[in-house]
Structure 1
Amino acid sequence: MSGFDRVIVADWSAAGVLSPVRPSPDAIWLGSTDAGGTETRYFRSRAEAEAEAFLAAAIAARPGRLLIGFDFPLGYPAGFAARLTGQPQARAVWRWLAGSLTDGPDNRNSRFETAARINRGFGGRGPFWGRPRSLPLPDLPETKAVDYPALGLAERRQVETVEPRAQPVWKLYTTGAAGGQGLVGQPMIHRLSALPGVAVWPFDSPEAPVVLTEVYLSLLARAVAAEAASIKDEAQVRLLSRALWTLSQAGSLGPLLATPPAPVTTEEGWILGAGHKAALAGALQCA
């Protein structure tokens, strides 16, 4: 497997308003590493990040190779996609969300309303949960009150048994929730994956010119904590992009991109680096 000439890691956000003008936590941060070093950038909106960074990077990467990791889930536990769309494919969910969820240039979005609509299709009993108390959506529980076995769905994907600190994809609100980022992020994956030469791992082969994948920023929690950075998000994307790029240049990224079993490769997705924390931490020592 040939290496990547550039690695971008994105800390995403599901915020419903523009992030502050001054670089701040809990917003969108990009860490980018190539032969020239590592840099980070801050974005106030998802639209700005997609237009100015990802689309441009995907086009500019050729003839080199580009890896982009997003810190939100790219799939859901097996069975969800078919019940929502009629097709047991993560791509069908991306397409459905792209046509159903609104997300404006000011970050206003319908993620909670969309989740409530999905829940109604499951009888109003989940699978999504978590919302502000002030938001009157009776089909979206404020707290986890979901019987997943009764719904015929798992609470966690296979990868979240390997990395149990990762929150369930159904959780949309409060500390550590990544489900909201998944709902607003997957429509972007739908758009980016339609570009020529763009693949999404593990659903596609990782040999494409541009490869998109899911990452989990806490894989390097110890290294980030040791930095004592003023903004944790900035340190996370900087260090993980550097670690992945270093492994790629050393020809050691192959084990992280090994093909997992179905339904991971069709529905659930996988976190790049899950089960390989030691390799990522070692790469930082060599960087």
Structure 2
Amino acid sequence: MSVGDTGAVFDTIIVADWSAGKRRPARPSKDSIWLGIARDGVAETPIYCRSRQDAENRINQIIDDETAAGHRMLLSFDFPFGYPRGFARHITGQDDPFVLWDWISARITDAADGTNNRYAVAEEMNALFEGSGPFWGKPNDRDWPAVPYRKADITYDIVPERRTCDLAAKAASSCFQLAFPPTVGGQVLMGLPTLNRLRARNGVAVWPFEDWNDASVVLAEIWPGLIEPAVKATQTDDIRDAVQVRLLAAALSRLPAATLQTWMTDLPDVAREEAWILGAGHNAELVSYAEDTDAAA
């Protein structure tokens, strides 16, 4: 691996647009899982995945192939890797985010057709708080009574509603919001078990929770909203999710090595508990590397 002036911290960039929903049709569609891949600043045609199982299988195969080729990879996902400070301790008794990953992974069920129990797991966590817990939002106001339909009367006095990086990135929603767009809470609950399994592989490290400098595969959190101006400026009939992962993968691949290294090391202490969105607070600079050059393969 060489580290030059134009972004060789990683040979391969993967951007995963995750989904908490059910299995999607065989034909590529929106609100599904998409994988963007870029090397040397050039993005490939995004990969459409019908289900979380399909996506995880494809990701594992990509890791195998890239590792065999001697490539170092940044594997990023568009959902929070952690919750606001104090949440992990309230649920597990420890500040360690990986203990919370284990706790959630042990409870989440995810069938092949996408049927899952994320609202029931949110109920269980809400029950550990006095009064209304932090999770809210659901498909109807009858089921899962311990999850409020709306956010009204939730005070967030025990844990903050948003993480420090959410504020820095001006993220659109809280990880406690489970329904009503824009929402990311369901993706967190259905994504952390996947991350937990990927983390168990040899050579994988999770940024910013672990020392990632010598890892062959680094898991990182991203948010496509950081490059929204570039996405809006793209003149294409492609599905928006596919455009986002393609442009963001290309932008991260084009970043100067020194810039990416700084973004990944110059973080507040709270990031070790809450996680961090790669590029948060550097929106304009990231957008400048995300212009659509029609370079997709």
TM-score, length basis structure 1: 0.93
Offset of 1:251 from its aligned partner? 4.4
Cα deviation, 1:169-217, whole Å, max 9, x if unaligned, reads: 1001011100100000001111111111101111112321100111001
Quick one: structure 1 residues 120 and 33, their matched pair in 2 at CA, closer, same or farther if it must change by over 3 Å? same
Corresponding residue for 1:75?
82
Gaps spanning 5+ residues in structure 1: where? none
Gaps spanning 5+ residues in structure 2: where? none
The CA distance in 1 between the partners of 2:47 and 2:142, in whole Å, is 32
Higher normalized helix content (fraction of residues): 1
The CA distance in 2 between the partners of 1:29 and 1:37, in whole Å, is 13
Secondary structure of residue in 2 paired with 1:8: strand
5 Å-filtered alignment, 1:9-158, equals 9-15=15-21, 17-35=22-40, 37-52=43-58, 54-62=59-67, 63-123=70-130, 125-133=132-140, 135-145=142-152, 146-149=154-157, 152-158=158-164
4+ aligned runs moved over 4 Å, structure 1: none
Secondary structure of residue in 1 paired with 2:106: helix
Offset of 1:21 from its aligned partner? 1.8
Cα deviation, 1:145-174, whole Å, max 9, x if unaligned, reads: 31111xx11111001111223311100101
The CA distance in 2 between the partners of 1:136 and 1:45, in whole Å, is 25
Contact residue 7 and residue 66 of structure 1 kept, 8 A: yes
TM-score, length basis structure 2: 0.90
Secondary structure of residue in 2 paired with 1:284: coil
Contact residue 7 and residue 32 of structure 1 kept, 8 A: yes
Offset of 1:285 from its aligned partner? 4.8
Contact residue 247 and residue 291 of structure 2 kept, 8 A: no
Amino acid at match of 2:286: L
Residues paired across the two proteins, number: 281
Secondary structure of residue in 1 paired with 2:44: strand
Amino acid at match of 2:173: Q
Secondary structure of residue in 1 paired with 2:236: coil
Corresponding residue for 1:173?
179
Amino acid at match of 1:43: C
Cα deviation, 1:26-61, whole Å, max 9, x if unaligned, reads: 110111011464220111100110012x21222332
The CA distance in 1 between the partners of 2:118 and 2:23, in whole Å, is 16
1:272 is matched with which residue: 252, 272, 278? 278
The CA distance in 2 between the partners of 1:218 and 1:30, in whole Å, is 16
Contact residue 116 and residue 124 of structure 1 kept, 8 A: no
Contact residue 58 and residue 198 of structure 1 kept, 8 A: no
Please state if 1:235 is matched with 2:240: no
Contact residue 84 and residue 274 of structure 2 kept, 8 A: yes
Cα deviation, 1:4-39, whole Å, max 9, x if unaligned, reads: 110010110000x21122111111011101146422
Cα deviation, 1:45-99, whole Å, max 9, x if unaligned, reads: 00110012x2122233222100011000110011111111121111111111110
Identity of aligned residues (%): 41
Cα deviation, 1:119-169, whole Å, max 9, x if unaligned, reads: 1111351110010116511100011031111xx111110011112233111
Secondary structure of residue in 1 paired with 2:20: coil
Amino acid at match of 2:169: E
Offset of 1:286 from its aligned partner? 9.7
1:3 is matched with which residue: 1, 9, 13? 9
